[in-house]
Amino acid sequence: MKKTICLIWVFIMLCAHICKAEKTVHYIELDEAVTSQFTASMSVLNRTGGNYFNFYVGDGSVAGEGDNYLAVKLSQIVLVSSKCKDEIKMFFPGGAQNIWTDLDIVFDGSSTSVYINGEHIGTLENCYSMEEINASVFRLGFSPWSADVSADAEYRDIKIFDYAMSGEEIAKLRAEETPLIGGEVIAFEGETFGNPLVRDIYTCDPAVLVDGDTVYLYAGHDMSDSGYYYIPEWVCYSSRDLINWKYEGVPLTSADFSWGSSTESWAAQVIKYKDKYYYYICKNGSGISVAVSDSPIGPFRDALDGERLILPWWTDAAHSWDDIDPTVWVENEGEADEQRYIMWGNGVCYLACLNPDMISITDINSDGEITKGEDIVTVEITDVPEGTGGFTEAPWIYKRAKDYYLFFANGWWECLSYATSEDIRGPYSYGNMLMEYGATSNTNHPAVFDFNGKTYMLYHTGALARGSGYRRSVCIAELIFTDSGIESVPESSSGIAAAASMIKNINQSASVQYVPFINNPDVKPKTDIVSGEISCAPAALWQITRGLYDGGDGFVSIQAEDRMGFYITDSDGEIKLTHDENGITETKKQRTFLRIKGLCGQGVSFESVSSPGMYLTLTDGKLTLTNGEDARAASFVVDDAPHYSLRGKLQSAIEKFKQDTQ
């Protein structure tokens, strides 16, 4: 019969003290151990990232001398046995420090599974049995290695079960939490998300191909878990409406090319030419090459069998990674005067002609060599305003009527700008900055295309949970052309598919706004949320989506329209605008609210999922959490805001804010 061994603590605190003369170890040793299967369930608050294990099962040796054991941190499972005098580890993203994290360990007799906040994180297969490990004790907050420290942590809600729970049982166990008080739930009926376009993986350096009635999105697959790029493959998505995107798989990987790195699938572009599809790629600064396929979704094969289209020593910029980010244009395809161009660069923008085979550079002077200045020319951009940084990287060629548009990333952190010319070779005259550097990514990359009578630009941000300049996400915006140029484009959480809203107090005399801040992709700030005059200022616009924590129809999250990835957050009882740095379930709960009929009988109210019974409330001009006793202050009116209100106004608002804060 399944049972719970009688070991339940409501709240237990553990700590370690290091003295000059001795080390005092504090841990909990449980009175009874099982020898076949078990589930260990607890909540943990780690104060440090020390070496101690939160959970240990093994032999009965004194502290620091254990030899056979199975142990779990919030970031790994470790198995050690004297049978092999070795250890087996599995690493995974764990809970953050100073945040209560639900930890469940399930041992089924041969494998160990770990659940963090109810989500299955990893399974270590082929574990030894408890008899083989010679397990005789359970401990919490104990490391069997004498060089390690004991726990600086708090534990609560500890339960030990003498059987292996299923994933469904773990989810049910974790669902038995303090229920929301609730009310008349207002179901979410709007669009779930606008931007980013892809939310289940990180995508970067977008490229696009329109083929008939279908748009193909190509992007690098960001998989980094550190402060450097790890992009082993490119991915492809397709859409016929720019809203619903179908995953088409991995058309190409950097390992498909024998030269250069196998984990740096940097910016690329696909074009169609004479019923074949050409994929122009780069890998860091080690050169540019091309793959070919009969289908836009691949598979693509290396068209040069290990050779490169562009060799890095053909150019001589100030740094080694100048041969990146290819963009290709075919002028007058199929006509007598057809010409094919490739443009690329970092710090310097280069241009060369392609031969009709699309896989070789034209030797303009027929001297048998490809040389800079003759076959490769530098593209000049004139009239660049001082302080903008000029051309950095990510060129993208686009043509409208008789004018060529060169879109590119400029400065550092990277903004997006454009320049125009009547000749693809240039010189180009600087037009305007389209997009200020973002709040979550230090890089950006444009891709511009026409579809169904409109012009769109793809770009990337670090808006998703744990997003950064190394874990980016592709977004979309419409470009608006006027007689004076292209209007500025703000980052937009609603994108082209969703709606921005204003959240007003119940008498509609003030709106909820975040305190403006200057973007810093390296250090993402937390800022207060206040009330201000009714306006369509960027800080007063929000996108309300289905809850990041999926608790039902009434669960919603509230994202800043022009600070994509920043959400209204219950941060330990304080309301802040924050970006998700860890991606764990507890953080999702902190960013999720139950939307119910207003406590005052009008409008809507928002109950915190993280703090049941507490409601968003405007108190003395600031958004706070209260028990809702002042029902009118805890009730709001939500109105859709004109989406165009941001267009063309962002740059002036940013400049004014910078001047005001200097």
Q: What is the DSSP string of 82-127?
A: TTTTEEEEEE---PPTTS-EEEEEEE-SS-EEEEETTEEEEEE-SP
| CA pair distance 112, 129, nearest whole angstrom | 10
Which among 379, 378, 361 is positioned nearest to 370, based on CA atoms? 361
Alpha helices, DSSP H, located in 159-291: 167-175
pLDDT of residue 654: 44
Residue 258 burial by Cβ neighbours in a 10 Å radius (0-12, 13-18, 19+): exposed
Phi and psi angles of residue 214, each rounded to the nearest 5 degrees, phi first: -120, 140
Instruction: Count CB atoms within 10 A of the CB of residue 257.
Output: 24
| CA pair distance 112, 133, nearest whole angstrom | 13
Q: Can you read off the two tokens belonging to residue 155?
A: 């534990």
Q: Which residue type does 285 have?
A: G
- Before 299, cis peptide (omega within 30)? yes
pLDDT of residue 89: 76
pLDDT of residue 205: 98
Q: How far apart are the first and last CA of the chain?
A: 70
Instruction: Count CB atoms within 10 A of the CB of residue 207.
Output: 30
DSSP helix/strand/coil, 313: helix
Q: Which residue type does 63 have?
A: A
pLDDT of residue 16: 32
Which among 237, 206, 221, 216 is positioned nearest to 409, based on CA atoms? 206
Q: For tokens 């941190």, name the residue.
A: 73
Q: Which residue type does 593 have?
A: F
124, β-bridge pairs? 112
| CA pair distance 112, 122, nearest whole angstrom | 8
Q: b/e for 24-53, b at 16 or more Cβ within 10 A?
A: ebebbeeeebbeebbbbbbbbbbeeebebb
C-alpha separations of 533 from 510, 587, 589, 603, 649 in Å:
5, 30, 30, 19, 17
| CA pair distance 435, 562, nearest whole angstrom | 11
pLDDT of residue 436: 94
Question: CA angle 459-465-468, nearest 5°?
Answer: 50
Under 8 Å between Cβ of 139 and 56: yes
Please name the residues in contact with 140: beta carbons below 8 A apart, sequence gap of 6 or more: 12, 14, 27, 28, 30, 42, 54, 55, 56, 151, 155, 158
81, β-bridge pairs? 86
Continuous segment of H or E residues that includes residue 132: helix 130-133
CA 330 to chain CA mean position, Å: 34
| CA pair distance 225, 424, nearest whole angstrom | 40
pLDDT of residue 538: 87
- With the C-alpha atoms ordered 414, 416, 422, 428, is the resulting torsion angle positive or negative? negative
DSSP helix/strand/coil, 323: coil
Under 8 Å between Cβ of 607 and 601: no
Give the pTM: 0.77
Q: Can you read off the two tokens belonging to residue 34?
A: 């099982």
pLDDT of residue 12: 39
Under 8 Å between Cβ of 80 and 86: yes
249, β-bridge pairs? 236
Q: Which residues of the chain have pLDDT under 70?
A: 1-35, 48-51, 60-67, 81-87, 93-98, 143-150, 175-178, 190-192, 641-662
Question: CA angle 402-436-348, nearest 5°?
Answer: 60
- With the C-alpha atoms ordered 597, 173, 588, 499, is the resulting torsion angle positive or negative? negative
DSSP helix/strand/coil, 483: coil
DSSP conformation class of 650: H
Q: b/e for 501-520, b at 16 or more Cβ within 10 A?
A: bbbbbbeeebbbbbebbebe
pLDDT of residue 4: 44
| CA pair distance 163, 420, nearest whole angstrom | 69
Q: Which residue type does 383 have?
A: D
Q: For tokens 């729970």, name the residue.
A: 165
Instruction: Count CB atoms within 10 A of the CB of residue 385.
Output: 11
Question: CA angle 497-503-508, nearest 5°?
Answer: 135
Q: Which residue type does 627 have?
A: N
Under 8 Å between Cβ of 395 and 408: yes
Q: Can you read off the two tokens belonging to residue 452?
A: 């169904």
| CA pair distance 86, 521, nearest whole angstrom | 42
